[in-house]
């Protein structure tokens, strides 16, 4: 699966970040603004969700027999976002090796991906923890 092929992500305009410090990005566009002329919370959430999936897919790209589903999300908006926004992601409370061990032992696992969003001034504007359920497809 490619997050850039999803119709919603194409519609919203989620793109790979040109800055290698970050994963994905949303350009600075008027369409993303709210009534305060800052980046709308739903635009930020869309980028965070796509970034979580993008990170997960890249971490497990060699596994073709799994399906991931988001179970729960906790989000904190830290300050109003200005301009373009960018994402970073990482695992929370575990690492890839532990995840693989559990997936191989139980054919399923839960894991959390933390996504941090930054605005054009490099201020951390949002943090989200995406809990994913991953299971191996039945053969």
pLDDT at 45: 97
- In the prediction, which pLDDT does 9 show? 93
- pLDDT per position as a tens digit, 30-56: 999 999 999 999 999 999 999 999 999
pLDDT at residue 139, as a whole number? 63
- 125, containing H or E segment: strand 124-136
| DSSP SS3 for 10 | helix
How far is residue 64's CA from residue 1's CA, in Å, rounded to a whole number?
10
Residue 2 structure tokens: 């490619």
- The CATH number corresponding to 3-136 among 3.40.630.30, 3.10.450.50, 3.40.1360.10, 3.10.129.10 equals 3.10.129.10
- Given this model, what pLDDT does residue 65 score? 82
pLDDT reported for residue 67: 85
Q: Rg of the chain's alpha carbons, rounded to an integer?
A: 16
What pLDDT, on a 0 to 100 scale, did the predictor assign at position 84? 96
Q: Which pLDDT does position 94 carry in this prediction?
A: 86
Closest CA to 18 of 83, 86, 114: 86
Q: What is the mean pLDDT of the chain?
A: 93
Quote the percentage of the chain above a pLDDT of 90.
Answer: 79
When pLDDT is cut at 50, 70 and 90, the band that residue 61 belongs to is: confident
pLDDT tens per residue, range 6-34: 999 999 999 999 999 999 999 999 999 99
> Would you place residue 92 in the very low, low, confident or very high pLDDT band (cuts 50, 70, 90)?
very high
Q: Domain residues of the chain, as ranges?
A: 3-136
The residues, ordered by sequence, that sit 6+ positions from 109 with a Cβ below 8 Å of its Cβ are: 99, 102, 103, 133, 134
Tell me the DSSP string of 82-94. Answer: -S-EEEEEEESS-
Tokens read off for 34? 């709210």
With contact defined as beta carbons under 8 Å apart, do 128 and 46 qualify? Answer: no
Give CA separation, 44 vs 15, 102, 120, 133, in Å: 13, 32, 13, 23
């Amino acid at each position: 699966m490619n997050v850039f092929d999803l119709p919603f992500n194409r519609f919203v305009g989620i793109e790979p970040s040109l800055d290698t410090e970050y994963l994905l990005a949303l350009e600075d566009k008027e369409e993303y603004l709210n009534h305060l002329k800052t980046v709308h919370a739903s635009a930020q959430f869309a980028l965070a969700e796509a970034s979580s999936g993008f990170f997960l897919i890249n971490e497990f790209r060699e596994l073709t027999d799994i399906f991931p589903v988001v179970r729960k999300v906790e989000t904190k908006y830290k300050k109003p976002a200005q301009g373009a926004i960018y994402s970073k992601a990482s695992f929370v409370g575990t690492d890839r090796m532990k995840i693989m061990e559990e997936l191989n032992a139980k054919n399923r696992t839960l894991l959390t991906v933390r996504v941090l969003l930054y605005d054009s001034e490099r201020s951390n504007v949002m943090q989200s923890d995406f809990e994913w359920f991953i299971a191996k497809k039945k053969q």
